[in-house]
Structure 1
Amino acid sequence: MGAILVFLILSIFASPATSQFQSSETGFISAVISEKGLVFVKDLLIENAIQTLTSLTLPDIHQSKKIPLIGGVSASLTNITVYHIDVPCSTLQTGESGVVVAASGVTVELSMNWKYSYSTWLLPIEISDEGTASVKVEGMEVGLTINVENQNGTLKLNIAQCGCYLEDINITLDGGASWFYQGFIDAFKDKIRSTIETTITKKIVEGALKLDSLLQTLPKKIDVDKVVSLNVTVVNGPLFGNSSVEVDINGLFIPSYDGTVLRYLNKNPQLSDFCGGEVKMLEISLDEAVFNSGSVVYFQAGLMNWLVDKVPDQSLLNTASWRYLIPKLYKKYPNDDMVLNITLSSPPIIKVRTKNIRVTIFSDMIVNVLDFELRFLLHAYQWRFWRLGFLRFRNNLAGSAQLDDFTLKLKWSEVGNFHMSLIQV
């Protein structure tokens, strides 16, 4: 029963706009990531990329050359490690089928070890020297283009393009006779540049592929409890606006077992409006079919019936309180306790309206008299209940509910007819 109450409370927090029910592939929950939200996602991705690339070790670089009549010269750069990255400027732009993330003016600082050796037939020994070096890359530009599509109900990322370009690179040697070898090491600039560009590009692609793998592991349904699940299958393809991305999911509540609820749903559902005021990073709208699908599933599972034996005024569940309204009841069962057996005759009908939601409930209520631990069927009522919910935004989220209409109809009785208007009041 707790899950049902959560579902009914959830139905209060929405406001409507017109939508059109199309088919089982229609998205009943729509999520729109605004420009503000895209900036947040972009900053989060770049921060994650910086953490991944910092402490990254690049492949060693070796270079050797034989000089005729002189000998052989070899040099190597090892333990090339990124220890600092600064990204002063970055952008994210949406296209027709994906997004482009770019960073410019990036500064990357690296450390490495260098070693130089020279051998010649003129000398019986090898001449060598070694030390450390610092590398500073300035003005680096990085770009990544990702296409996003719907693949079997899951978002699929395809890398269309990824590149890295270094504008300037400075190498400073320390240790040994570094001043003597500085010119020789400068000849490694192109090799170092190529290694940095290739390694960073590879790591960015690996990160994008990991994100895609994570998306593939997301479930297509989320179990709410043992009875109902939420269908979170992506429908249609993501819609890319000038500065926003919209993703639609099925969003209907379905039985945890195999089953369908579409035949019970209203053919003219309502989609909730986006809240006005300050621009939000993420805006979610829910079609009224989402709420109705939940009520259908719980109804089909037989969970919408309650036995009420406790009320705020407990005396109302005793025949003595009804001695003047229903004399035959008190005469036949004097001073006996009663219980109310409430069973819904159909799924609750939920209508989304401007700034409120209305719920119509049709139910049979049977009054049972407990006499010597036996239960006797006495009265059956059919009643309609409207609930009106309001949503107010201040510092806190608040809601209210009120009874809009309530009717009772006597279907049968073992103690004769009586005035329903007196009981209804």
Structure 2
Amino acid sequence: MAVATILLLLSSVFISSQAHLQLLADPNESFTSILISQQGLDFVKNLLISKAILSMIPLKLPRIEESAKFPFLGNVHMVLSNITIYKIDVLSSYVKPGDHGITIVASGATCNLSMNWHYSYSSWLLPLEISDKGSASVQVDGMQVGLTIGLENHGGTLMLSLMDCGCYVTDISIKLDGGASWLYQGMIDAFEGQIASAVENAVAKKLKEGILRLDSFLQALPKEIPVDDNASLNVTFIDNPLLSNSSIGFHISGLFTRRKNVPVTKRYHQSFHPSVFCKDQSKMLGISLDEAVFNSAAALYYDAAFMQWIVDKVPDQSLLNTAGWRFIIPQLYKKYPNDDMNLNVSLSSPPVIRISERNIGATVYADVIIDVVEAGQVIPVACISLVIRGLASVKIIENNLAGSVKLDDLAMSLKWSQIGNLRMYLIQPVMWTITQTVVLPYANAHLGKGFPLPIIHGFTLHNAEIVCSSSMVTICSDVTYSESKNLSSALTRFE
């Protein structure tokens, strides 16, 4: 069943195109918008029709029998068996979303059938039965297949409902082979209506079976996408899909959650539901992520205590010995001459992400405790508070949204000291260097891996573009498809 799978793709994510479409949603629950454009729908429709044809053929039809009794002449019995559709071609098709559902129509389709025929005649006038048999080929032209599917949110997942379905045959021709086929051609032609009806019923039945299977598959899709061992992306659908005459829109939660269901403190900014905006209206896909998505990730990893580490190796290792600080903090070197040091770096609050048309800004509040290691004992001697401001950039790596950050500004203040007052203007270049050479590479190593966008396995973003606007990041992209075992199984199994 081809068309039904359109909804499978829709459930996962994709595709945008209109210049501006505001998707209405609860601002407290939805932070990611998805828009599927007509171009995207057409791409999926073409893919699904080819998959549907492969899944349908060979399609066996019921046996057809007819008997007739003629007064004074006898009985005639005709049987058509092994009726099989072995080829289907679709000349044109379209998909159209609307107020009452998603309509998919394939018109001008043709299909080829093969079958066996058997003829028998018996009469009281003749002591023997006369019979003949052979094969036949059938050409069906002008076939039109259409269905309308309802799509709604059901407990955070998408539910399909078949609102209308039909298959209509306008022309059929039969050619007999074998036996005295020329003698029976006229009688076989009388079966055209029954063959056409059998084709219509069989195709419609397969479509209905496909919708039921696809509905079950959609409702079984997970509501979270694992990011790593600690975090998942919440892809629960919020409200019903929004259908216009040329697109389908979705809104999902989109926030990061703990994989062990430990609640995350909501320190991120709550905002209105983002709109999908793509300059290139030919793109298939548009996904808008509110800055709250990024801030939820920051809050999650902060609450999970992943934003604390000990720095005991730096490119300039002399900076981790008190001798390297003798001109910067003389009293430190005097009290602990030639002792090794480490820096205990921890964030005092979650990083804050702000997105504008000009850039993506990240503000990090960190405490750096200077430790002296003396005779195996770690001695905290001072704590410096840092306010690190960085400029972030994002990029697409396959189906992941990855990023990096560079240092823009660094402010610092003394939080406490066991070695007296410190001259902060002397310490600032050191902290700048450590931030550049240690902190940011550490952060970028993790940011470079990215996090997955909500896309079903088998589909890949292609020629993606990223647009930043007030408080959101939008990915505008085409998609490509490669065979996926799970997806193909969902599309092609109808038994």
CA distance in 1, matches of 2:116, 2:25: 65
Match runs of 1:5-20 below 5 Å: none
C-alpha displacement at 1:317, in angstroms? 1.0
Q: Secondary structure at the match of 1:107?
A: strand
CA distance in 1, matches of 2:425, 2:209: 72
Q: Secondary structure at the match of 1:69?
A: coil
Cα distance per residue 1:21-56 (max 9 Å; x no partner): 985763211111111101011111211121122211
- Aligned equivalent of 2:200: 197
- The answer to whether the 8 Å contact 1:19/1:268 transfers is no
C-alpha displacement at 1:182, in angstroms? 0.4
Query: Which of 113, 118, 122 matches 1:119?
Result: 122
Q: Which moved more, 1:267-276 or 1:289-298?
A: 267-276
- The answer to whether the 8 Å contact 1:385/1:406 transfers is yes
CA distance in 2, matches of 1:275, 1:403: 29
1:421 and 1:90, CA in 2 relative to 1: closer, same or farther beyond 3 A?
same
Query: Which of 402, 415, 418 matches 1:411?
Result: 415
CA distance in 2, matches of 1:88, 1:45: 15
- Aligned equivalent of 1:384: 387
CA distance in 2, matches of 1:196, 1:331: 95
Task: Verify: 1:163 aligned to 2:186, yes or no.
Answer: no
1:342 and 1:258, CA in 2 relative to 1: closer, same or farther beyond 3 A?
same
C-alpha displacement at 1:20, in angstroms? 11
CA distance in 2, matches of 1:335, 1:147: 75
Query: Which of 80, 95, 99 matches 1:96?
Result: 99
Equivalent AA in structure 1 for residue 329 of structure 2? I
Equivalent AA in structure 1 for residue 318 of structure 2? S
Task: Verify: 1:300 aligned to 2:300, yes or no.
Answer: no
CA distance in 2, matches of 1:170, 1:18: 49
Query: Which of 396, 405, 421 matches 2:425?
Result: 421
Cα distance per residue 1:306-358 (max 9 Å; x no partner): 11111121111111111111111111111111111111111111111114211
> What RMSD, in angstroms, separates the aligned Cα atoms of the two structures?
2.3
Aligned length: 406
- Aligned equivalent of 2:251: 248
Query: Which of 74, 78, 82 matches 2:81?
Result: 78
Unaligned 5+ segments in structure 1 are 1-16
Match runs of 1:166-315 below 5 Å: 166-261=169-264, 263-268=266-271, 271=274, 274-277=277-280, 279-315=282-318
Cα distance per residue 1:62-119 (max 9 Å; x no partner): 1112222222211111111112111111011111142100011111111100001111
- The answer to whether the 8 Å contact 2:265/2:299 transfers is no
Query: Which of 135, 138, 141 matches 1:135?
Result: 138
Query: Which of 20, 36, 40 matches 2:39?
Result: 36
CA distance in 2, matches of 1:262, 1:272: 26
The percent of aligned pairs where both chains have the same amino acid is 51
CA distance in 2, matches of 1:411, 1:384: 12
C-alpha displacement at 1:190, in angstroms? 1.1
C-alpha displacement at 1:272, in angstroms? 7.7
Equivalent AA in structure 1 for residue 146 of structure 2? G
- The answer to whether the 8 Å contact 2:362/2:392 transfers is no
Equivalent AA in structure 2 for residue 405 of structure 1? D
C-alpha displacement at 1:213, in angstroms? 1.6
**Structure label with greater radius of gyration:** 1
- The answer to whether the 8 Å contact 2:381/2:418 transfers is yes
Unaligned 5+ segments in structure 2 are 1-19, 430-495
C-alpha displacement at 1:274, in angstroms? 3.6
Equivalent AA in structure 2 for residue 69 of structure 1? F
- The answer to whether the 8 Å contact 2:61/2:84 transfers is yes
- The answer to whether the 8 Å contact 1:271/1:288 transfers is no
Equivalent AA in structure 2 for residue 421 of structure 1? Y
CA distance in 2, matches of 1:18, 1:66: 68
Query: Which of 40, 49, 53 matches 1:50?
Result: 53
- Aligned equivalent of 1:401: 405
Structure-1-length-normalised TM-score: 0.90
CA distance in 1, matches of 2:183, 2:190: 13
Structure-2-length-normalised TM-score: 0.78
